[in-house]
Amino acid sequence: MVEPVTGELPGLLRRLANPPPLVRELGAMPLGAVLTRAVRDLARRRPEIFSRLNEHRTRSFVIAPTDLGLSFRMVPNGVRATVAVSARGQFEGDVHVRGPILALLGLLDGTLDGDALFFDRTIAVSGRTDALLALRNAIEDAELKPSDLLGLSGGLGRVADFRVPKVLSKLRRMAGMPLDEVTP
């Protein structure tokens, strides 16, 4: 047996990340539009990331943070990618990934090892394992920085790339996630 890693957002932050349902619902659609644009911009700048997905770029990936009142459905189809956000339960999709938001963000920027998070049950996956593996490997190789994900460039991008990992690392320590040690 392994000691499970909770990794969920610390108290105050968790309350901030879970506003009343009406606020979440009002925010879901614009957030989806912003994320869709960010992924499409990424596809224009870094098309090689999406080429690793091959046929899996048209699959739908449902990401459900367990400590956030929102879930996400992404179809990573390059410049035609879409991201939808819902404040009401789960989406339907080809692949489902559930886990604390800090763990999921750690997978996105390559800070955390996906297999280790799966072994110790921090994250749960279901659906098309081949599509999930393709996405995981594409993200792994992409070495995404916060500026890539947020679509920032210039000074703002450099600030984000410097600050955001430090903040996330601190939050992970607060959340009791020792896997931060595997940072390359």
Partner 1 sequence: MSLELVCPAGTPAALRAAVEAGAHSVYCGFRDETNARNFPGLNFSPDELNDAVAFAHARGAKVLVAINTFAKAGAADPWKRAVAVAEDSGADAVILADIAVLDHAASKHPGLRLHLSVQAAAATPEAIGFYAKTFGVKRVVLPRVLSVEEIAVLNKAIDVETEVFVFGGLCPMTEGRCSLSSYATGRSPNLSGVCSPPEHVAYEDDAQGKTARLAGFAIDRFAPDEAAGYPTLCKGRFVVQGKASYLFEDPVSLNAAGLVERLATAGVTALKIEGRQRGKGYVAEVVRTFRAVVDAVEAGRDPVEAERILARLVEGGRQTSGAYRKQWR
Q: By CB under 8 A, name the binding residues for partner 1.
A: 1-2, 4, 52-54, 56, 110-116, 118-121, 124-138, 140-143, 178-179, 181-184
Instruction: Kindly give the pairing relationship between strand 95-99 and strand 61-65.
Output: parallel
**Least Å from the CB of residue 48 to partner 1:** 9
**Least Å from the CB of residue 113 to partner 1:** 4
**Least Å from the CB of residue 52 to partner 1:** 5
Residue 123 amino acid letter:
I
Query: Which helix (H) or strand (E) covers residue 42, if one does?
Result: helix 21-45
Burial of 16 (0-12, 13-18, 19+ CB in 10 A): exposed
Query: Which sign, positive or negative, has the C-alpha torsion 22, 24, 29, 31?
Result: positive
Q: In this structure, what token pair is assigned to residue 4?
A: 């499970």
**Least Å from the CB of residue 156 to partner 1:** 25
Q: Which of residues 30 and 178 has its CB atom nearest to partner 1 in the complex?
A: 178
Q: Which of residues 49 and 150 has its CB atom nearest to partner 1 in the complex?
A: 49
Q: Which of residues 11 and 55 has its CB atom nearest to partner 1 in the complex?
A: 55
Q: Which of residues 85 and 171 has its CB atom nearest to partner 1 in the complex?
A: 171
Backbone torsion region of residue 99, taken as left when φ is above 0, otherwise alpha when ψ lies between -120 and 50, otherwise beta: left
